[in-house]
Each structure stands twice: as structure tokens, then as C-alpha cells.
Amino acid sequence: MKLSVIIPTYNESATIETLLKKVLAVPIHKEIIVVDDGSQDNTALLLKPFVDAKSVKYFRHEKNQGKGSAIKTAIRHLTGNVVIIQDADLEYDPEDYNKLIDPIIQQKAQVVYGSRFLNKSNKHSYMRFYLGGIFVSFIANILYHQKLTDEPTCYKVFDAAFLKSIPLKCERFEFCPEITAKIAKKGIRIREIPINYYPRSIKEGKKINWKDGLEAIWTLIKYRFIE
Ligand SMILES: Nc1nc2c(ncn2[C@@H]2O[C@H](COP(=O)(O)OP(=O)(O)O)[C@@H](O)[C@H]2O)c(=O)[nH]1
Ligand SMILES: [Mg+2]
């Protein structure tokens, strides 16, 4: 078993070092793939020691293209047999990796999502993100016959061969609804496991906004009825 940790990164110099240390500390055989999506802060400089020590594989987009594009770049280069998406902030907890990958290693699931809502002790920062997340999950469940509590979660875990078999068009945050739609259309039931969540504020660098919520819903509708 080798886990590929994909980290799409855009201007996260405040958290990237701490995050990488946390990911490196998880006792799993793994590779870490950071795709620096044209960051204009000192993200590249902070990453250099990790790249020099060969603890991180580094790819850079010269121009900012969005989280989905960064994930697609990483998918082309990954060599593990299980894959997890890891944001470059500290909202999620790498100590959850083991329980998330377990159903895939046991061959009981091809896809596992980490649910922030199934863990009742989690806090949620903004009411609109909280309700937005619930609403997007609700629409995904209706359109695709799933039972998800947290569709837009960052922690999405895949069997690597399966992930590579899915063609992706997304460029920005539509990665989540596109992959959910395409998995569900294959008749796969997405498994959920409770995870920890430590929300950050917009001031602390949160980049997703209400337009991304609308785009998520449009993406779910598009892949259900149009494409
Ligand atoms: N590659 C790339 N990553 C991005 C971009 N915008 C945001 N991200 C990353 O996506 C992750 C999630 O962003 P965030 O604003 O915290 O949204 P949330 O965690 O999905 O609510 C972070 O790791 C960001 O660095 C972008 O334009 N390109
Ligand atoms: Mg985040």
C-alpha cells in the first residue's frame, strides 16, 4: 500500500509548513505531491527544504488555474495505489488518514469521503458555509441516489486506478461535484467516515465563496441531465 497525498496550494504560506510536518508525521507509506498553483507569496521558498530533502514532489503552475487544475496535474504524476486530497490549510486533520483509507485497503470501498457533519463535536465557522454544505449534499443525494452528509468535504479518498479512470474537466472548486457525479453515475455508493474539522476564517485565507456554491449545484445538475 502506498498513499498519494495530493496538496493543491495557492498562497498558503501561513500554513503550508505546519501542514507538511503534520502529513509527514502520519505513520503510513506515502508520497506527498504539492501542486503550487502560481502562488505569489513565499510558498515556493517555504517548500524548498521539503523538496530538497525529497520528502515532497513539487509541481508548479506558472499561472493560477484553480484547485481542480492542480488536482488534475497531481493525478498525472501520482504513483500510489490509494489517493487522498489534502488542502494546504489546517482545517482538516491528517491523523484521520488511517481510518479513511482502511475501507479501501480492505477492498470494502473504492471511494471514501470524510464527513465533518458525522462528527458532532466539530464546530462550523460561518452559518452560510454550514447551510451551503448541507444544501449541496442534499442536492447530490437527490440527483445521484447517495446518502451523503458532507459532499463538499476536502477529504476524498480513492483507489488510485479508479480515480485515474475518471476523465475530469474541472478547473476550480467544481472538482468536488464533478467527481461525486461521475462516481455516482458508475453506480458506486460513496462511503462516509466521521472526521475532525477546524474551520478557518476568510481573514485567515479561506478562498471558497458563495459563487463556488452555486457553481457546485450547477455542476451537479449539468452532469445529471446535460453531459
Ligand atoms: N491549486 C489551487 N488551490 C486553491 C486555489 N484556491 C484555493 N485553493 C486551495 O484549496 C484549498 C481549499 O480552500 P479553502 O478556501 O480553504 O476552501 P475549503 O477548505 O474548500 O472551504 C486550500 O488548500 C487552497 O490553498 C487555487 O486557485 N488553486
Ligand atoms: Mg480549507
Euclidean distance between CA atoms 112 and 38, whole angstroms: 29
Ligand 1 close to Cβ of residue 36 (< 6 A): no
C-alpha grid cell, residue 209 = 465563496
> How many helices and strands in the chain, by DSSP H and E?
8, 7
All three cell numbers of 214, joined, read: 452555486
Q: 50 vs 16, 20, 56, 61, CA distance in Å?
A: 11, 8, 6, 18
Indicate the CATH number for domain 3-225. 3.90.550.10
Ligand 1 near 12 CB (within 6 A): yes
Q: Ligand 1: which atom is nearest the Cα of residue 9?
A: 25
Domain spans of the chain? 3-225
- Asked whether the beta carbons of 183 and 220 are under 8 A apart, the reply is no
Cell of 106: 480492505
Which protein residue has the closest C-alpha to ligand 1 atom 3?
67
The whole-number mean pLDDT for each consecutive block of 10 residues of the chain, a chain of 227 residues, reads 97 96 98 97 96 97 97 98 97 98 96 97 90 96 98 98 97 97 97 96 87 96 95
- Compute, in angstroms, the gap from residue 177 CA to the centroid of ligand 1: 15
Where do we find the cell 501561513? 14
Ligand 1 neighbourhood includes 174 CB (under 6 angstroms): no
Tell which residue, 40, 30, 29, 37, has the closest CA to residue 9: 37
Please tell me the residue having the least CA distance from ligand 1 atom 9.
9
Alpha-helical segments (H) within the chain? 16-25, 43-52, 67-77, 97-105, 127-144, 160-164, 175-185, 210-225
